[in-house]
Structure 1
Amino acid sequence: MLISLIRLTQAVPLFLSEIAPAHLRGGLNILFQLNVTIGILVAELVNYGALKVKPWGWRISLSLAGVPGVVLTLGSFLLVETPNSLVERGYVEEAKSVLRRIRGTDNIHAEFEDLVEASNTAKQVKHPFRNLIKRRNLPQLVITCCLQFFQQFTGINAIMFYAPVIFKTLGFGDDASLYSSVITGGVNVLSTLVSVYSVDKIGRKMLLLEACVQMFISQVAIAILLAHGFKDGQTTLPTSSAIPVVVLICVFVSAFAWSWGPLGWLIASEIFPLETRSAGQSVTVCVNMVFTFVIAQAFLSMLCSFEYGIFLFFASWVVIMGLFTIFFIPETKGIPIEEMEMVWRQHWFWKKIVPDDMPGHGATNEKALELKNVKVAPGEVA
């Protein structure tokens, strides 16, 4: 089951990025994350209900996990191959047909030519993973790995995995702690909807930066409330402090859910060239799973050792994330996926890394053409 989940995490963002038109790519891709958050919420509701069924309620939770697997299996028969995949395997006419169908127009010549040129470049690469460490792919590799590292060091999985433990520590009972984790799951779903609506309007970078500010403020405020509430050897938090802490945790979860959660997968799936796209997504999933494991294993020990300081620890990482976003993450909104190499040529820092002879594909829309004439200041991208 875990292996299937990892494969889906690798394949679905790539599939969505390759079939989506540039101006809708962000919102359509984040629908994947939206369904993940809905699944988390449903699982929490099932667990809450199963708790009432004694002594075999846990069997309900385990058995219902098979339902999504059946739905995914049946749904896979309705999917089409992406035009990129078809062109790369030599099914040119079928690729044209699929591209016409998903775009809803016969005017696909320019986009299709870009796909063919990208495919020709990709066929020259015999070792995609070895190619990842070449200079032309270093910006994508660094950003992808950092996004996954930072995503976990926001502290989100620590909170989501151990929400019942945290809320019980705050003074809630066993039932109330599960109920509180359901609340955070609901906030997660609603906030991801915000990202679906806004990511292609205000851009990836703005969402990341706004979330850094919101997460930092909420985590520092939580630390202050916990430091004040647990003084004098108290083992539970007073209601006057516990309720604001729950609210602030929801504020934190909402910020993550419309930014670093979905955008960590979206940006990684859209910045790699075709020849290293699958290999790059594999690295993305691997790095994410490694640091998910690290945080999950370390959090309880860190909570016992740091106490309220654990939130200051994650808040300090949020500051680093914000600085990294300002200076090193380019804006990819509205840029065709096969024209993404122009981003690195225009970025104030990455243009020093990528080689001058980096292969390119002619710009196919106004946004890509405009990039050629825009001067970019440090910390910004066209």
Structure 2
Amino acid sequence: MRLRGAGNMREVVPELTDIKTSLKTKSSLSRTQTCRLLFTWRIMQRILIGVFLQLFQQFTGMNVIMYYSTSIFKRIGVASYISTSVVGALNFLTTILSIVLVDKVGRKALLLLGGLGMILSMTGAATVLLVFRVEEEEGGGSVAGYVTVTLICFFVFNFAYGWGPVAWVVTSEIYPLKIRGVAVSITTAANWTGNFIIALVTPILLNSVLRTFGTFYLLAGLLLLATLFVLLCLPETKGESLERIDKLFSKPWLERIDLFYYLRLGCPWGVRRRRSYSVTSGNQLQERDGDRRVLLQEEMGPENGAELETVEATFVVETPSPTGYSISSLNESNN
């Protein structure tokens, strides 16, 4: 109730029921059944998404900055202890901001925005280092050196509201509860594997012919791959119940990721949905957990006259109204 708010009791109860049911199922699964379930395609594709999200989180290069910031800032020629403190404080404060944004903006949106911001900042920092030869001149507190530090701070800012926390949010909610513990363990192992690779390879890259600017260009390329992966493989799970997430992953790939979702959402000239509700039949009124519910048909489609999609919805009804029922909440399910 604290998470959903006191006014959303009727939305919390079905979700709580789903969780209890999943926990009972989980406790009844043997080790063999769990392994078989993990290797079904519907579950395996989610595990692969979680594994790649965690690997890409490490390959964004955030830990390159966090682990080797002192060395990098010395190469640039700025006060390393001050810059490192600023980076740490910025990371902490912006992560708090993501707590507010993740349920308002959406998981996929934050990953895409954060990815684009990191690509721009990392490419910009690498270009400044290359063009002005900051490393060759050992920085010396030059303007180019401070511009590079500013771009690195912008990189950290974008990571802290996007890939830092949101990758963990997504990998904690896309799995069914009955195998969530095992699945999250696998994706966490992928994260630490990526962490180990970054810690091992970064000193080699920084001291090779690539130097700092080449390493930054390499990270920008990996960030581009990570952003494309999110765009093409990850569905938006903001506001979805456990049941609806399961249904989401059972849909065809293009329908699941909905490439034009944010275009429709953000553009006034984009496709809009119109909604109309009507009771399909009187015998669909039913009793459930003390609440009277009635099944309605929802027609959704573009205003330009294209075919309408029919969605079955369950309205919680309390008292009769002049039109038949007083509707207090809605639970939709796509057919």
Task: Give the match for residue 170 of structure 2.
Answer: 267
Higher strand share: 2
1:372 corresponds to: 334
Relative contact order, CA 8 A, sep 6+: which one is greater? 1
Taking the aligned partners of 1:270 and 1:232, their CA distance within structure 2 comes to 44
Query: What amino acid maps onto 2:95 in structure 1?
Result: T
Q: 1:336 aligns with which of 216, 241, 264?
A: 241
Matched, 1:118 2:22: yes
| 1:206 is aligned to 2:70 | no
Contact in 2 for aligned 1:125/1:131 (Cα 8 Å): no
Q: Pick from 113, 122, 132 the counterpart of residue 219 of structure 1.
A: 122
Match runs of 1:69-88 below 5 Å: none
Give the direction of change, closer, same or farther, for the CA distance of 1:109–1:249 in structure 2 (3 Å limit): closer
Of stretches 326-335 and 125-134 in structure 1, the one that deviates more from structure 2 is: 125-134
In structure 2, what is the Cα distance between the partners aligned to 1:232 and 1:181? 18
Q: Does 1:278 align with 2:181?
A: yes
Whether 2:253 is the aligned partner of 1:348: answer yes
Cα distance between partner residues in 1 of 2:11 and 2:206: 57
Which of 51, 71, 79 is 1:145 aligned to? 51
Cα distance 1:192–1:108, how it changes in 2: closer, same or farther (>3 A)? closer
TM-superposed deviation, 1:240 = 1.2
Structure 2 match to 1:312:
217
Equivalences for residues 181-260 of structure 1 within 5 A: 181-230=84-133, 233-236=136-139, 239-260=142-163
What's the CA shift string for 1:246-275, capped at 9, x where partnerless? 100000000000010001111001111011
C-alpha separation between the residues in 2 aligned to 1:222 and 1:108? Answer: 47
Structure 1 spans left out of the alignment, 5+ residues: 1-18, 25-101, 352-361, 374-382
Higher Cα radius of gyration: 2
Per-residue CA distance 1:150-199 (angstroms, 9 max, x = gap): 00111000111111111111113xxx312211100111122112211111
Paired residue secondary structure (2:238): coil
1:139 deviation in Å? 2.2
> Conserved in 1, the CA contact under 8 Å of 2:123 and 2:217?
yes
Code of the residue aligned with 2:19 in structure 1: it is L
The whole-number CA distance in structure 1 between the counterparts of 2:85 and 2:134 is 29
**Are the structure 2 counterparts of residues 231 and 269 from structure 1 closer, same or farther at C-alpha, using a change threshold of 3 Å?**
closer
Structure 1 residues 317 and 291 mapped into 2: Cα distance closer, same or farther (>3 Å)?
same
Match for residue 205 of structure 2 among 261, 283, 302: 302
Distance 1:294 1:188 in 2: 22
Give, in whole Å, the separation in 2 of the partners of 1:318 and 1:217: 10
Q: Give the 3-state SS of the residue equivalent to 1:343 in structure 2.
A: helix
Provide the TM-score with structure 2 as the length reference.
0.71
The verdict on how the C-alpha distance between 1:130 and 1:162 changes in structure 2, with shifts beyond 3 A counting, is farther
1:99-123 per-residue CA deviation (whole Å, 9 max, x = no partner) reads xxx9996986433432333234324
Q: Deviations over 1:87-107 (max 9, x none)?
A: xxxxxxxxxxxxxxx999698
Output the CA distance in 2 between the equivalents of 1:146 and 1:364: 38
Distance 1:177 1:364 in 2: 59
Q: Provide TM-score, normalisation by structure 1.
A: 0.63
Q: State whether residues 204 and 332 of structure 1, in contact with CA within 8 Å, keep that contact through their aligned partners in structure 2.
A: yes
Aligned: 1:135 with 2:41 = yes
Q: Specify the code of the residue in structure 1 equivalent to 2:18.
A: D
Distance change (3 Å), C-alpha of 1:247 and 1:107: closer
In the alignment, the residues of structure 2 paired with residue 111 and residue 257 of structure 1 have an alpha-carbon distance, to the nearest angstrom, of 29
TM-superposed deviation, 1:235 = 3.2
Amino acid at match of 2:334: K
Q: In the alignment, what sits opposite 2:300?
A: none
Letter of the structure 1 residue corresponding to residue 253 of structure 2: W
- The more displaced of 336-345 and 218-227 is 336-345
User: How many pairs align?
Assistant: 264
- Give unmatched runs, 5+ long, in structure 2: 257-312, 317-328
User: Equivalent residue for 1:324?
Assistant: 229
